Structure 1
Amino acid sequence: MTPLRLLIVDDEPLARLRLAALVRDCPEPRCEVAGEAGNAAQALAWLAGRPCDAVLLDVQMPGTSGMELAAELKQLPRLPAVVFVTAHADHALQAFELDAVDYLTKPVRRERLQAALQRVAQRLGRYQALPAEVPALVVTERGKVWRVPVAEVLYLKAELKYVTLRTAERSYVLDESLTELAPRLGERFLRIHRNALVARDAIRALERRGAMPATPGAEADDSAEAAEGWAAQVAPTGEWLAVSRRQLAAVREAIEAARW
């Protein structure tokens, strides 16, 4: 496969140097850093004469911001994919409104960068997706690395800027989104709500329990569904998670198919 051509745009030379090193360390998809730019004007000048597949783009830069540059890139004859790489986590929603492939926060881990580059290649039709299901999730928390078997995961729930992974024994915090995690978890998990993936065999009951707490930052539709009060009980913890209207039938089917 022809290597992906990347342009790194960041006003900090050391940040560009570290990101280039991480790109070289990613075994697949094959990538090359075709160019670097310290601001939006330099990036546009570089892109005017050279094609690239993706831009690794900082958000806060002197002059034109990364968000503004991403909007300008849409005017190019050949639109490169955009992966934001920033120290600020509070622009993620705006990033995805601009159709960014991913939003990475510094310090960037190689595994997260590689996952983002795989998505770039998939969008370009130049990379076959990895097997949908993985045997375990690797969690880095408080300086420790944990290997959590997927078979032990009860649910994953989005909470503002992070995702909580729950097993029967304890909870973990992940910095990946549910959108990123869902394809890797496979059919064993059911999306019961915009903010929750639950293991099918962990769903014990479905009830209308009155108003459920809305997730902080939830959209109006989500808050309305929470007010209706449909919830699924997760075994063995006994916790109740909100269920969206559109997923009620799927949750009922999961309960009927389960063997307790």
Structure 2
Amino acid sequence: MNVVIVDDEPLARERLRRMIESFPGYAVVGEAGEGQAAIERVSELSPDAVLLDVHMPGIDGLQVARELAETDLPPAVIFVTAHSEHALSAHNSQADGYLLKPVRREDLAAALARARQPSRAQYAALAGHPEAGGPMGYISARTRDGIERVAIRDILYFWADQKYTSVFHLQGELLIEQSLSTLEQSLSDNFMRVHRKALVARAHVTGLKYNTDGSACLSLRQSEQYVPVSRRRLAEVRALLGS
């Protein structure tokens, strides 16, 4: 996990760097001492997370966080502050976490672990760039290798399993935490619910198959998997295929 540290105090940055680099799987890829430099460093380095001081000269941390949230793939933001009143502002800003100085090692480890999950802004990254020949946007998730992004037009179907949702796409599979209900609301123009556990891309459906027990399933383009169709959704799926 790649991290950028933003703090106007060099000793504070050095202390955070030492702690982060002692955690397996984490690396500090850059630092900044003020807000505008932080925005430029994040744009240049595309880190997974930013440790962001709230009170800095010039652009403060809250404004930096607001600007980062407007980017296509915003990093997770963890505010770091010496003032408890700023912690409340950081919390209310919908950051992915906040820490009070002096930062304790165990608190930092916990905050970074939480930041491995996709941020709220990344979950909202269904609004991407227009894609010719397909729906707009991307699905984003944080993986062991960083942030993985899949174009909506390349997704075959979503499959819900307990608290996670699997995204089956042309290049493989991705695991996210968004519910099918949330996805269905966002993607209703291009996807249809065919089962309580399945949301399928209309454009990738190639046929309807009946099993020997009378149940039905869908075949999808470039996939060997069949997606089950519930009895209550069967008429709607037939109508789609008929059109």
TM-score (norm 2): 0.48
TM-score (norm 1): 0.45
**Larger of the two Rg values belongs to structure:** 2
